[in-house]
Amino acid sequence: MSMNRFQYDARGGQTMVSRLRARAGQASGVQSNPGDRRGVAAILAMMFLIMFGSLSAAMAIASRGNIVTASTNLHVMRAQSAAETGLELAEARLKEAGARFLMSDSDVTPTFGWDLWRGSLSGFSTYQIIPGKTMRQDLASPSGLAEAVAQAHNLDQNIVDEAGITTVTLGNAPAGTPATFKQTSWVFTPAVAVENQPADAADVPPLCYQITYAPLADGRDVRVIVTGYDFSYERNGQAITRQISKDFRLTKRVNHAIISPTRVMLGKNVQVTGDLGARFTDVSFNNGDPLILRSDFRSINAALDQKLNFFDQAVATDDADNDNRMRSQHTGESNGLTSATDDYRDNTGTNDSPYQDVTGDGFVDEYDIFLDHFDANNDNRVSRAEFTTAGGQLVDAGLFDLIDSSEPDRNRNKVSGFVDANSNGRYEEGEVFLDRDTVNDVNRDQVLGYLDGYLDKRDRYVKVNGGLRFKVNSGTWETARGSLHEKLAGAIRPTEGTPPQAFNMSDQELPVISASNFATNRNDLQLAADGEPFAMQVAARVQVPGASSVVVQELTPDANLDGLPDNNATAYFEKMPFNSPNFSDYYYRPVYRNMVFKNVEIPLGNNALFDNCWFIGVTWIRTHNDNTHILFGEYGKLTMGTSNTRPVPAVPRTVYGDDTAETNPPSMLPSTARAPSQMVLLANPVMDKGDIPSNQVGTYIAAQYNALPEPLIIGGRRITDTKTISNNIRFHSCLFVGSIVSDAPTGFTQVRNKLQFTGATRFVSENPNSANVALNPDEDDKPKIATSSLMVPNYSVDIGSFNSPDTQQVQLKGAIIAGVMDVRGNADIKGALLLTFAPSHGSRPLVDVLGNPIGNPANFNTTLGYFGPDDGDSESLDPTRLRTHSGQLVGGWDTNGDGIADVPGTNAQPAGSTPVYWNGFGRINLRYDASMKLPSGIMLPMQYDAVQGSYREGYR
């Protein structure tokens, strides 16, 4: 019988109990005994009481367990947070300790790291120990990094004695420490409280952390071990603890993409990733701005320019942090955007809203305005089609390519780029991406926007992806030159936690770069140029694989002493700088085409054009070091002759001493610089005292004669043409598998000591075209080559020409060391530009013959992109001022039919000339490479970097 049936009968409404009672002689309507009902109720109540009591007890037990667990977890998390706090402080202390040691050596080997840690500094060439930034300045210099860390912790307060040691201790590793650690020179610090205990818990030690610095066996790494303690909860008499660790590696590097003692100018279609360091401080001179940044988006569309004008006005008044961006959610800056929108609408009579955060990064900058302007279909990106003119040409091909190719390693896996099959520096359909997912058939960086044919938020474009760092005081600069905002256009995205602009930088923060810094590495590279002599390599005529025949066009020596090669009627010559509308000189050059050179020393006075040549290993360019004579850049200067066809000496000379009647040579000339040892060459007009025979000195006014400089005497011989003791070389479409190094001239003579790289010139460490050992650097030389691909201190270096063709593509890598550098056209530089020439008013070359200060130090500059004479770049042209011809901008006018501009495009067209059209701004990308090997010599602070993936709980 079912329970339901037993309890209730649906037909009669009676329960089975009622019917049983009736059978027992009790009428169904008679009431039962009340006591019976109470007994049943009591039994049921007891049952429920037991049941609910058991549940209550179980719930209480469970709740207590949960409370205990939660409390334990809370204390564990408190100990964990204390450990994290300690780790953050330890990292700061370790980095500050490293920064106290300024070292000239740059090869951070395991021995280097271990000696510096334990304080064995006798093996280091040059170093300096300075006080820590946040420490007392009167402390004794530490012997090494370990002691520097200890000094910092000796100043700690709120020590918690109960956690262990009470003073900083330098000692041995604990017993049983594995061999992955050094066994000595550990730093143990006392625990430090991270909170104050309340009065009612004064007997309980506060939450705290304890730090141990454990040097690892490789000598360069230190493991920071931090233990967090929470004494407010104990288990078996022990505080709750959490232990974490992280490794840090000692390194030395320069932290800037550019460090320049001359002023720096970045033009249109130029992007820099990394900090910019400007040491120039002579702001009182004309054009004396330490840095000029030009917008990448100006002058491509008049309506866009109008939008940018109102945006610039808002930035000038409302940009609170000087990054040339407006935060869309920042009260003051967003109000500036609203005002700019209102002003734009009032001026144009539209309801447009051109100042939107198109990229969604929280900022509005020029790039957002550009995207909004050209985005025709409102998909928040600009395609090539949308950026194409009615004539079918891209509005600015260089700009499009620059943005689309910015940040090649989009997924940060350290694999990026593509195989440039035709070496033209541009990605073309069919070329293979290096970071390719073959399983899913995608290019990993391309799906993140790299070279995908669209400009959008994934390109994350800014003008400077880093910060601006200045030696000068901002107030001094602004007082002398006016508003800094007008000088610095384009968005700046600094590294997180650093300001967009910083001034008054110290020499430790913005180091001095000079030619003397690199003496050791320069000598090492020079010794590696140990191949056959240059003449023998020319005679061997080793041909570039796959090239047409070798071409050699030598210059015939000047036997008749007319200041020209004897084959000048047919010899190749060009303006210097090449293709410059405002050139300084002419050069007759020997030509070497399609040749291979290996570990070659290019002799003094070579001044060649190397076309499509390979240079394997180290190429050493010779020059005479003492180039401080006041006329060093004038001796041997050429000008176009009256026939307007071939260059001739600007100051002609006649021979003195070849006639028996000429017996009064200038008296100051040594016998080795007189006939018959050497013919005396007299300049007309006179250039120095050596141009006046001794019997004619009396015909000059004494003051005029005394004002003339002494003649230039080197090795007992008089030099009247300094082209013979220097080197001004142009490399066109050459491949350098290795490095270029030069002698280090004392002074700066940009006309005589100059290197120009044009065409598709590339610098690589391994030959991309051949695995042949003869066409690759010697194995022993590779470590030397790794320090720099271009080490030419106090040389002037030009990358590209003054109207670079679209086919130009120059690629440089590593630490690039030069006196000054100008980059134009298409160029990719991965590394850093370290420039040595520091112009000073009153020092050569900015003095006259009597040593009086002359000239303007601001006329020496490092430029990336195009600027003009009005900007202080006297050799170049300003594209914004070019004339048009047949609807196209003219780069210059060719007056002699050689295809090269002879008259600047800013001038009116000369009669009979033909236009040389402007080839566009090109694109220049300079990307700082933190991993590049740095040459020794620069005094830089040591640094500690966190080792990726080394964070762990525990420490072994």
Per-residue three-class SS string for 551-620: EEECCCCCCCCCCCCCCCCCCCEEEECCCCCCCCEEEECCEEECEEEECCEECCCCCCEEECCEEEEEEE
**Mean pLDDT, residues 90-114:** 95
Q: Evaluate whether residue 241 is within a structural domain.
A: yes
pLDDT at position 22, please? 44
For the stretch 638-657, what's the b/e string if a residue is b when 16 or more beta carbons lie within 10 angstroms of its beta carbon? bebeeeeebbbbebebeebb
Q: Tell me the per-residue pLDDT of 180-203, one tens digit each, with 9 for 90 and over.
A: 999 999 999 999 999 987 777 678
Omega into 499 within 30° of 0, i.e. cis? no
pLDDT at 7 over 60: no
pLDDT at position 260, please? 97
Q: Tell me the per-residue pLDDT of 462-488, one tens digit each, with 9 for 90 and over.
A: 999 999 999 999 999 999 999 999 999
pLDDT at position 253, please? 92
Please classify residue 685 by burial: count the beta carbons closer than 10 Å to its beta carbon, then call 0-12 exposed, 13-18 middle and 19+ buried. exposed
pLDDT at position 1, please? 40
Domain that holds residue 401: 384-462
* pLDDT, averaged across the chain: 91
pLDDT at position 125, please? 80
Pairing of strands 952-953, 238-251: antiparallel
Which of these, 467, 461, 460, lies nearest to 494 by C-alpha position? 467
Kindly state the helix (H) or strand (E) to which residue 169 belongs, with its residue range.
strand 169-171
pLDDT at 94 over 70: yes
pLDDT at position 17, please? 42
pLDDT at position 811, please? 87
Residue type, 749: T
Question: Are residues 391 and 246 both part of a single domain?
Answer: no
Place of tokens 């980095």: 95
Confidence band, pLDDT 50/70/90 cuts, at residue 423: confident
pLDDT at 62 over 90: no
pLDDT at position 457, please? 97
Q: Evaluate whether residue 347 is within a structural domain.
A: no
What are the backbone dihedrals phi and psi of residue 904, each rounded to the nearest 5 degrees, phi first?
-55, 150
Q: Report the C-alpha gap between 829 and 425 in whole angstroms.
A: 12
Q: Report the C-alpha gap between 821 and 754 in whole angstroms.
A: 10
Q: Tell me the per-residue pLDDT of 497-538, one tens digit each, with 9 for 90 and over.
A: 999 999 999 998 999 999 988 888 899 999 999 999 999 999
Tell me which of 557 and 43 has the higher pLDDT.
Answer: 557
Range list of H helices, 297-417: 302-318, 331-348, 366-374, 397-404
The two structure tokens encoding residue 932? 């590049």
Q: Tell me the per-residue pLDDT of 889-934, one tens digit each, with 9 for 90 and over.
A: 998 898 888 788 888 888 899 999 999 998 999 999 999 999 898 8
Q: Evaluate whether residue 550 is within a structural domain.
A: no
Q: Tell me the per-residue pLDDT of 428-453, one tens digit each, with 9 for 90 and over.
A: 888 999 999 999 999 999 999 999 99
Contact (CB, 8 A) for 117 and 217: no
Task: Domain count for the chain, please give it.
Answer: 3
Q: Report the C-alpha gap between 373 and 786 in whole angstroms.
A: 45
Q: Report the C-alpha gap between 605 and 881 in whole angstroms.
A: 37
Q: Tell me the per-residue pLDDT of 750-796, one tens digit each, with 9 for 90 and over.
A: 999 999 999 889 899 999 889 999 999 999 999 999 989 999 999 99
Q: Tell me the per-residue pLDDT of 361-401, one tens digit each, with 9 for 90 and over.
A: 999 999 999 999 999 999 999 999 999 998 899 999 999 99
Handedness of CA 641, 646, 650, 656 (dihedral sign): negative
Angle between helical axes of 331-348 and 302-318 (0-180°, round to 10):
140
The two structure tokens encoding residue 1? 């019988």
Lowest mean pLDDT among 295-304, 338-347, 879-888: 879-888
pLDDT at position 18, please? 47
**Mean pLDDT, residues 114-135:** 91
Q: Report the C-alpha gap between 339 and 542 in whole angstroms.
A: 68
The residue out of 671, 697, 718 marking a domain boundary is 718
pLDDT at 63 over 80: no
The Cβ-side half-sphere exposure at 229, using a 13 Å CA radius, reads 20
Confidence band, pLDDT 50/70/90 cuts, at residue 879: confident
Q: Evaluate whether residue 388 is within a structural domain.
A: yes
pLDDT at position 66, please? 58
Percent of the chain with pLDDT over 90: 75
Residue type, 379: D
Residue 168 DSSP SS3:
coil
Q: Report the C-alpha gap between 928 and 791 in whole angstroms.
A: 17
Residue type, 698: G
Question: Are residues 391 and 250 both part of a single domain?
Answer: no
Confidence band, pLDDT 50/70/90 cuts, at residue 806: confident
Contact (CB, 8 A) for 774 and 597: no
**Mean pLDDT, residues 923-947:** 93
**Mean pLDDT, residues 293-313:** 96
pLDDT at position 26, please? 44
Q: Tell me the per-residue pLDDT of 611-620, one tens digit each, with 9 for 90 and over.
A: 999 999 999 9
Q: Report the C-alpha gap between 463 and 493 in whole angstroms.
A: 8
Q: Evaluate whether residue 404 is within a structural domain.
A: yes
pLDDT at 281 over 90: yes
The two structure tokens encoding residue 429? 């359909």
The two structure tokens encoding residue 557? 């020596």
Lowest mean pLDDT among 45-59, 240-254, 589-603: 45-59
The residue out of 429, 447, 462 marking a domain boundary is 462
Confidence band, pLDDT 50/70/90 cuts, at residue 331: very high
Q: What is the 3 state secondary structure string of 214-236?
A: EEECCCCEEEEEEEEEEEEEEEC
pLDDT at position 44, please? 73
Q: Report the C-alpha gap between 409 and 830 in whole angstroms.
A: 13
Lowest mean pLDDT among 11-20, 58-67, 100-109, 529-538: 11-20
Lowest mean pLDDT among 12-26, 411-425, 851-865: 12-26
Lowest mean pLDDT among 213-217, 243-247, 631-635, 800-804: 800-804
pLDDT at position 16, please? 43
pLDDT at position 20, please? 35
Q: Evaluate whether residue 132 is within a structural domain.
A: yes
Which of these, 692, 378, 730, lies nearest to 574 by C-alpha position? 730
The residue out of 462, 485, 520 marking a domain boundary is 462
Kindly state the helix (H) or strand (E) to which residue 740 belongs, with its residue range.
strand 735-742
pLDDT at 23 over 90: no
> What letter does residue 88 receive in the DSSP assignment?
H
Confidence band, pLDDT 50/70/90 cuts, at residue 582: confident
Query: What length is written for the chain?
Result: 956
Query: How far apart, in Å, are the Cα atoms of 399 and each of 156, 323, 730?
Result: 54, 21, 27
Q: Evaluate whether residue 918 is within a structural domain.
A: no
Omega into 793 within 30° of 0, i.e. cis? no
pLDDT at position 68, please? 55
